[in-house]
Amino acid sequence: MLVALVGIGKIALDQHVPAIAGSPDWELAATVSRHGSVEGVEAWDDFTAMLEARPDIRVVSLCLPPVPRFAYAAEAIRAGRHVMLEKPPGATLSECHALQDMAREMRVSLFATWHSREADKVDAARGWLSDKTLRRLTVTWKEDVRRWHPGQAWIWEPGGLGVFDPGINALSIVTKILPKPIHLSGAVLKFPENRQTPIAADLAFAHPDGAEVTADFDWRQEGDQIWTIEAETEAGTLVLSDGGARMTVDGAEAGTEEDAPLSGEYPRLYAAMARLVRDGASDVDLAPMRHVADAFTLGRREIVAPFEE
């Protein structure tokens, strides 16, 4: 299948382009970007013109920041194209629901991707937890924003999510591996005095069985980066580390290579998109985004030291 990639920035070049190149399902037929391109691929700077000139390209993958993404997705859907959305799927929940309605009306596939759900041991963790009684779950997601988002000013503007840009990856894993749904019960959001989005957040959740569920997100981490989810149950303690790439149970390595027959988060996303298009289906799970929206609604705001690049 032919696919057009829109927004040729770091995530597109690091993840999407190699995943498409390595897939038997896809051919990168065009790019749309004001600044970037991919060698050997037809490049456009006008999305409308590309859609009109290339009716043979039936799938569009959007790697734009959240705020401008809705307009591109809506235009693609109205043009009868299947759409793949980089995370988070939109700037607001209402936008995402509107896109779902459009896709349903136009009978095209819409895929809200959560790449961290495709980490190697996430499915194994979900299977292990499926019949366990949860007592406590702790998420620790701490990284250095200067290392991972250099010069990306949009993340500090309204709609950019701030620390929830990586934090939503953790929430996407949590909402996949827990057998019972949780909801936010409290939050503290820490805003640099010179920025519009938070640099850190402490979250607490209500669990239907009373388990203690918390998350600690921080973009000020120096040294080792921490992406860990620890789940204590009556049958032992499971730890997902390295963003879901490693899994231990009571300190012993768990999960097998057979848990992840296709290597890489983004190759798995593109394989899933191919299945959705072939089946005439959509996948728009907004659970991770609901938790973020609830945090902004319920969270207590604290002002912290200014952030400078």
The catalytic residues are 87
Query: What are the backbone angles phi and psi of residue 92, rounded to the nearest 5°?
Result: -140, 160
The pair of three-digit structure tokens given for residue 132, joined into one six-digit string = 């366990």
The one-character DSSP state at 119 is S
**Angle, helix 287-298 to helix 93-106, in steps of 10 degrees:** 150
Query: What are the backbone angles phi and psi of residue 172, rounded to the nearest 5°?
Result: -65, -35
The pair of three-digit structure tokens given for residue 215, joined into one six-digit string = 């998350």
- Distance between CA atoms of residues 32 and 7, nearest Å: 6
The three-point CA angle 194-10-45 to 5° equals 100
The pair of three-digit structure tokens given for residue 285, joined into one six-digit string = 């799970």
Is the Cβ–Cβ distance between 66 and 95 less than 8 Å? no
Q: Which of 169, 167, 173 is nearest to 215 (CA)?
A: 167
- Distance between CA atoms of residues 248 and 244, nearest Å: 11
What distance separates the 2 farthest-apart alpha carbons in the chain?
59
